[in-house]
Amino acid sequence: MSLGIDEIIDNFSFIDDWEERYRYVIELGRDLEELSEADKSDLNKVQGCVSQVWLVSHQQQGPDGPVLTFKGDSDAHIVKGLVAITLSIFSGQSAKTIENLDAEAIFSQIGLRDHLTPQRSNGLSAMLERIKADARAAIQVG
């Protein structure tokens, strides 16, 4: 079962060593639900990531507009953990909430941005932009 972002932030606060934090990120990625081979398509591939990253979004109508849920995967262990953290922030939120969420602040709070390589940082930004784009598209459709 995946953890909520508050629990992940709390767990990070108890881990001082960055080697241990990386292990925790990898562990989070191992808990992600597997994507089907059909979901690992070019359509779902996140552009701008050095590693292969796939995001699948599903939309349903909620009381306050569209609600988006996400599934994701990567072929790299740490990136897969970053996908898990990202999904814990956004999945199950309304499109309007997603559009206004400041995921960068959350990643800064747990110190991840300072410890990512530039390539991983760029890939994370590409993932965040893809999720926001899906939310904007859901709002437009409506």
Percentage of the chain beyond pLDDT 70 is 98
Instruction: Look at residue 121 in the predicted model and tell me its pLDDT.
Output: 87
Percentage of the chain beyond pLDDT 90 is 69
* Per-residue pLDDT tens over the stretch 91-106: 999 999 999 999 988 9
Is the pLDDT at 7 greater than 90? The verdict is: yes
Domain boundaries in the chain?
5-141
Tokens of 10: 């709390």
Active-site entry in 49, 56, 79, 112: 49
How many CA atoms lie less than 13 Å away from 69 in the CB half-sphere?
6
Instruction: Look at residue 142 in the predicted model and tell me its pLDDT.
Output: 61
Active site residue 49: yes
Mean pLDDT estimate for the chain: 91
pLDDT category of residue 21 using cuts at 50, 70 and 90: very high
Instruction: Look at residue 5 in the predicted model and tell me its pLDDT.
Output: 92
Q: CB neighbours of 10 closer than 8 A, spacing ≥ 6?
A: none
Q: Among residues 102, 93, 78, 80, which one has the least CA distance to residue 135?
A: 93
Instruction: Look at residue 40 in the predicted model and tell me its pLDDT.
Output: 95
Across residues 31-58, what is the average pLDDT? 92
- Domain 5-141 sits in CATH at 3.90.1010.10
